[in-house]
């Protein structure tokens, strides 16, 4: 019996929120029924591609490189790093529609909070724009002919409006994922969901620490060592590490 095909997952990495990246990965590993691979969208791994430009995080533009990174072949998932998954990622993977160039949760909302990452050195405005947060979870059909326009040079020059609104695609090229696969914490009423997106700020930041029981549980699992107390581990790390 052969193994099932690997699910490639590309995750936005920002060293200023490194714990969120690893917590997200842990939440997928905990529940995945199929093999997965993770790729970090991190500038030094991408020939120092400037994934931030005028955005808040370090991968605001590099998410659009996923088809190129996959050699324009097959499918792949992109997710922001400030999330946790509470279901089997294979259930999302099984929603692929081969006639679509990309699939997203088609949010239709206006933000209630006009600042994000409050109380941190990276606090920023939280502005409303059409198709906001569509690009925070993307199932990419990397081999779709219309995605071959997404070269490194093109993405570097295209601009945020064009990219985040998927303006190189016609509306019928964009498939729809159910909202429970990108629940916007702090923007939507809390409901049981498959994927929680802490779009205003990950619960690792003090200001948002009450917003995510699911996140805290996944974080603790990500630093688990059998028989060891996490607080003791952190104290030892702070004592011995040279930062």
pTM of the full structure: 0.94
Looking at residue 179, what is its pLDDT? Answer: 97
Residue 54: the pLDDT is: 61
- pLDDT for 57: 72
Query: Does residue 48 carry a pLDDT above 90?
Result: no
Does residue 64 register a pLDDT over 60? yes
Q: Which CATH class is domain 7-240?
A: alpha beta
In this prediction, residue 49 carries a pLDDT of 84
Q: What are phi and psi of 195, to 5 degrees?
A: -140, 125
Alpha-carbon gap, residue 195 to 92, rounded angstroms: 10
Query: For the residues 146-168, what does the mean pLDDT come to?
Result: 95
Confidence of residue 164 (pLDDT cuts 50, 70, 90): very high
Residues 134-152: what's their mean pLDDT? 97
Banded model confidence at residue 2, pLDDT cuts 50, 70, 90: confident
pLDDT bucket at 59, cuts 50 / 70 / 90? confident
Is residue 49 within 8 Å of 152, Cβ to Cβ?
Answer: yes
Q: Which tokens sit at 74?
A: 């097959």
Q: Encode pLDDT of 92-113 as tens digits.
A: 999 999 999 999 999 999 998 8
> pLDDT at position 97, please?
98
Higher pLDDT among residues 52 and 83, named by residue: 83
Beta bridge partners of 75: 141
């Amino acid at each position: 019996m052969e193994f099932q095909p690997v699910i490639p997952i590309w995750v936005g990495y920002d060293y200023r929120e490194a714990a969120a990246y690893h917590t997200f990965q842990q939440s997928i590993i905990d529940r995945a029924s199929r093999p997965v691979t993770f790729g970090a969208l991190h500038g030094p791994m991408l020939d120092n591609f400037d994934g931030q430009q005028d955005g808040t995080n370090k991968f605001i533009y590099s998410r659009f490189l996923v088809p190129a990174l996959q050699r324009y072949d097959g499918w792949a998932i992109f997710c922001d790093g400030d999330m946790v998954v509470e279901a089997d990622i294979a259930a999302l993977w099984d929603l692929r529609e081969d006639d679509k160039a990309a699939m997203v949760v088609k949010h239709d909302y206006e933000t209630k909070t006009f600042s994000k990452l409050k109380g941190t050195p990276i606090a920023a405005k939280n502005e409303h724009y059409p198709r906001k947060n569509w690009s925070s979870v993307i199932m990419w059909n990397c081999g779709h002919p219309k995605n071959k326009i997404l070269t490194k040079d093109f993405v570097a020059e295209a601009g945020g409006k064009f990219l985040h609104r998927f303006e190189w695609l016609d509306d019928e090229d964009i498939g729809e994922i159910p909202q429970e696969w990108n629940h916007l914490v702090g923007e939507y009423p809390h409901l049981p969901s498959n994927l929680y997106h802490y779009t205003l700020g990950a619960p690792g930041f003090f200001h948002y620490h009450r917003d995510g029981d699911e996140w805290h549980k996944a974080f603790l699992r990500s630093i688990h060592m059998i028989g060891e107390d996490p607080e003791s581990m952190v104290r030892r790390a702070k004592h011995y590490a040279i930062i």
